[in-house]
Amino acid sequence: MAEVHVIGQIVGGSGFPESSLFCKWKVQMGSAWRVLQGDQEGQTQVDDPSDEPMANWCHPIDLHFATKGLQGWPKFHLQVWHQDAYGRNELYSYGFCHIPVSPGYHELDCVTWRPKGTLIEELKTQFIGGSSQLKNPDLVSSSAELYKLRTVSMGKVHLRLHIIVRDFEKYGVEF
Amino acid sequence: MSTKPTSFLVFINGSIENAEVNDYDELYLRFSYVIGKDWEICSGLDEGTTQIAHKSVQVGSKIVFNFPLEVTFRATNPFGWPQLVLSGYGLDTFGNDVVRGYGTTHIPINPGRHRVRIPLFTPRSSSRFQQFLGWIMGRRPEFVDPKVVAFNAGREMTRVRSHGYVQVVFNVVTKDMDALGYRIQSKHALPTGSKQSENTDSAQADNHYS
């Protein structure tokens, strides 16, 4: 079995309408993959930056995968949430990002989007807060069903990841 | 007669260079390393404290530490790769020692010289009144154990304000990672003078992570 280590951080998010953000993250992978060590999901701290446009989460990621095949290479599902002054949480956006395939250091910007509702729903979001959410968040990375959605762009999530691979040469895989 | 190694070594040296902060003029940092259970420190300090450093009178000056770091780790598994955890403290207007920020980064994996810019963040009080009390009494919210910022668990409960950065330079050398089958660079890797990044910057002397 070949192994992949993902070591790095979800550094922060920028380009969102307001700060005071946090990120829920989850790793999704195909059936050939298994997580040997590390947490598969988590939630970052809520950061309200004092003078920077970027919310800093610095959330550590340390995952150890074992795999029998290349299909279903793991990816991150990200959800950026906003916490307002009263402590209410509302979803800002969804995004997904494949874990880089080559060993080494990578800086990634994961773009995100949110579902766009009808005119009434958008007005509600504007005045009352809250937002339209997907019934099934796994839709974010399913290429077959996204055509049904209408979405609005949101900001970016920044990640810094180091990838270490092991024993792929035995299977003839070249990086 | 070649015996296959059973563990690999990661040798780090470098320095905590400076801190960029706007609101205050002096700072000292405590640093420590958080490592997994398959890791151990063979040599070097695993925690320490820098000097108390002040800004100079020039506008836009940074707080310079130039504090040496040197440590060697031995491990059998890259899981639990070491993280440098920093916690900064300084005096407030009343002369109390208060926390100025926490930050963490993984030690870079690729051999070479790396410059990392670590954001600092402090826990926020639960309410405005608590914030005022903390300011008056000099007892601001702080983490009981600074190492918690290097872990995934429990972070969703923390609300922080980020402010300022610390720049750290790492020089990294590894031994026996190849012999154990770990590949940390692709065959077509760019030379260590540039970084693999989606933003193309001009190549600099060290790898810059900002």
Question: Does the pLDDT value for residue A23 go beyond 50?
Answer: yes
> Per-residue pLDDT for A131 more than 70?
yes
The distance of A155 to chain B (nearest Cα, Å) reads 16
| Interchain CB contacts (distance < 8 Å): A and B | 142
**Domains of chain B, start order:** 8-121+144-151+161-207 (2.60.40.150)
Residue B154's pLDDT is: 84
Compute how many other C-beta atoms are within 10 angstroms of the C-beta atom of residue A111: 14
B183/A164 CB distance under 8 A: yes
Residue B206 pLDDT > 80:
no
Q: Is residue B131 scored above 80 in pLDDT?
A: yes
Quick check: B209 and A8 CB within 8 A?
no
| CA of B54 vs chain A CAs: smallest distance (Å) | 21
Q: May I ask the CATH architecture of the domain A2-171?
A: Sandwich (2.60)
List chain A domain ranges.
Answer: 2-171
What interface predicted TM-score (ipTM) does this complex get?
0.89
Task: Say whether pLDDT at A99 is over 90.
Answer: yes
- Inform me whether the pLDDT recorded for B201 exceeds 60: no
Report pLDDT for B208.
Answer: 59
- Tell me the whole-structure pTM to 2 decimals: 0.89
Chain A: give the shortest CA distance to residue B155, in Å: 5
Out of A43, A50, A162, closest to residue B155 by CB: A43
Q: Can you give the pLDDT at residue A129?
A: 82
Quote the tokens at residue A163.
């990838």
Written as one letter, the residue type at B151 is F
Q: Which of B8-12, B114-118, B133-137 has the least mean pLDDT?
A: B133-137
B61-72 tens-digit pLDDT = 899 999 999 999
Encoded tokens for B72: 């060697």
CA nearest B189 in A: which residue? A104
User: What is the residue-wise DSSP string for A45-107?
Assistant: -EE--SS-SSEEEEEEEEEEEEES-STT--EEEEEEEEE-TTS-EEEEEEEEEEPPSSSEEEE
Strands A33-37 and B26-34: unpaired
The proportion of chain A whose per-residue pLDDT surpasses 70, expressed as a percent, equals 100
Residues A131-160 have a mean pLDDT of 89
Of B51, B55, B48, the residue nearest B69 (C-alpha)? B48
Are residues A109 and B198, on separate chains, in Cβ contact within 8 Å? yes
Q: How confident is the model at residue B23 (pLDDT cuts 50, 70, 90)?
A: confident
Tens-digit pLDDT profile for residues B140-190: 999 999 999 999 988 888 899 999 999 999 999 999 999 999 999 887 765
pLDDT of A51-91, one tens digit each?
Answer: 888 999 999 999 999 999 999 999 999 999 999 888 889 99
Per-residue pLDDT, averaged over B94-111, amounts to 93
| pLDDT on residue B46 | 92
Residues facing B27 on adjacent strands: B53
Substitution target in A105, A158, A169 with the highest count of B β-carbons within 10 Å is A105
pLDDT-derived band at B209, boundaries 50, 70, 90: low
Instruction: Name the 3-class secondary structure at B130.
Output: helix
Chain B residues touching A167 at Cβ < 8 A: 181
